[in-house]
Amino acid sequence: MLVKIFAIIMLVLGIAVAAGANSDTGKFIPEAIGTIETLPEEYPDHWVMVHDFSFFHMLEGKVLVVDPLAADVGGQYKGMMTASFTAAYTRSAKRREHYVVETFFSRGGRGGKRTDVVTIWDPASLKVISEIEIPAKRLTGMPKATMLGLIGDDRFLGVYNFTPGQSISIIDLEKREFVAEVPTPGCGFILPNGKHSFTSICSNGSMLTSHLDTTGQLKDARKTEILFDPQDDPIFEAAAITDSVAYFPTFKGNVLPLDISGEDVKAGEFWSLTSTDEKNWRPGGIRPAITDAQGVGYFLMHPHGAEGTHKDGGSEVWLYDLAEGKRINRVELANWGMTLGTSGTGDGRLLFVTNDALGVDVYRLPDVEFVHTLAVGAGTPFMMHSAQ
């Protein structure tokens, strides 16, 4: 019996050696190790950062750098940044840096002392180049693009806190340090506006704009009048932004334009995404509104609008000339969608839709032509960020 086992082992080893041998010389050629590749400092504009929040294992989130037009995993996967515990992500094209705001616990999955940090990544090497500790109170919850905001020509990074007291932590990206905590009582999230200001959405339907000085300290803050009805028709926290105007969809399918070009925001007139006979259609999803590099607005829509369906996602994407408030196309998606993203410029524009199977579908714009579902795997890819 032992002889048979020995013979089988030798046979397997012989096959392995033969498979690794050079057919010309008969010599074993080991695989090269230690090769370190780098990415371009400026990514191709059609690339996308896919943020996997890892809702099923929250300490192991990640942000994938992806070429969405490649045909297979090897071509699509370009690299990865770790992003612990429902992290928030953004990047600065001007500073050529990635920012991941994450949370760590001294006992890992068992809890312990909490530490919140802004981790700064180099885009070419995907190495950590700095880490800034911040107050351990950032919002850890469902992903929102408004959890972070670059302020003051990318000099400062704002991080939204919820304890449930609400505030914004201000980080000086030049000095690499936390500089201030700006209180925003009754108002949440961060929408940069003007040069040194940001606006938060308030629970009574108004907006609070906080103005910073050149060191990142709060100079003053002012509230608008009530702009929307938070009980009858609240706005989504995510807006489609182009030409310094943020277009906030409401739960019932209206749109609130907000001019964010100046230090104080100005609201425009509401307009509707739907016609009179389309009132059953409403926007929904984690990120139901976005724009592309041409300023076209995309809204994720579903046909069974009712109380609570704002979370449902949608079966179609509707395209709008935002300045005119006019629909220019509506397209049925290949799969039910949960959240939207875009990348690319000119004729290379792409639309991304996280589908109900938690894959990321890729469409060519402007015709919303289905290309494929990304082969790169991600557990809960709820946010896609453009490279341009």
**Cα–Cα distance list, 327 to 2, 275, 317, 322 (Å):** 77, 10, 11, 8
- Tens digit of pLDDT for each residue in 288-312? 999 999 999 999 999 999 999 999 9
Residue 146 three-state SS? helix
Q: Could you check whether the bond before residue 30 is cis, i.e. omega within 30 degrees of 0?
A: no
| DSSP secondary structure letter of residue 276 | G
Contact 281, 264 (CB under 8 A): no
What number of CA atoms fall less than 13 Å from residue 232's CA on the CB side?
A: 4
Q: Give the residue, 8 or 361, on which the prediction is more confident.
A: 361
Q: Calculate the average pLDDT of the chain.
A: 93
> Per-residue pLDDT tens for 36-89?
889 999 999 999 999 999 989 989 999 999 999 999 999 999 999 999 999 999
Per-residue pLDDT at 24:
55
pLDDT at 10: 43
Residue 12 has pLDDT above 80, yes or no: no
Candidates 87, 92, 120, 96; CA nearest to 41 is 96
Please tell me the distance from the alpha carbon of residue 53 to that of residue 380, in angstroms, as a whole number: 6
Q: Is the pTM higher than 0.85? A: yes
Residues 319-339 have pLDDT tens digits of: 999 999 999 999 999 999 999
Cα distance between residue 35 and residue 339, in whole Å:
37
Question: What digits encode the pLDDT tens for the residues 233-289?
Answer: 999 999 999 999 999 999 999 999 999 999 999 999 999 999 999 999 999 999 999
The residues, ordered by sequence, that sit 6+ positions from 165 with a Cβ below 8 Å of its Cβ are: 183, 185
Counting other chains too, the contacts that 94-98 makes at CB distance below 8 Å and 24 or more residues apart are: 94/153, 94/154, 95/154, 95/173, 96/41, 96/42, 96/123, 97/121, 97/122, 97/123, 97/129, 97/173, 98/49, 98/63, 98/122, 98/123
Instruction: State how far the Cα of 331 lies from the Cα of 316, in Å rounded to an integer.
Output: 5
Domains recognised in the chain with CATH numbers: 84-226 (2.130.10.10)
d(CA 163, CA 167): 9
Distance CA 200, CA 190 (A): 5
In tens, the pLDDT along 210-239 reads 999 999 999 999 999 999 999 999 999 999
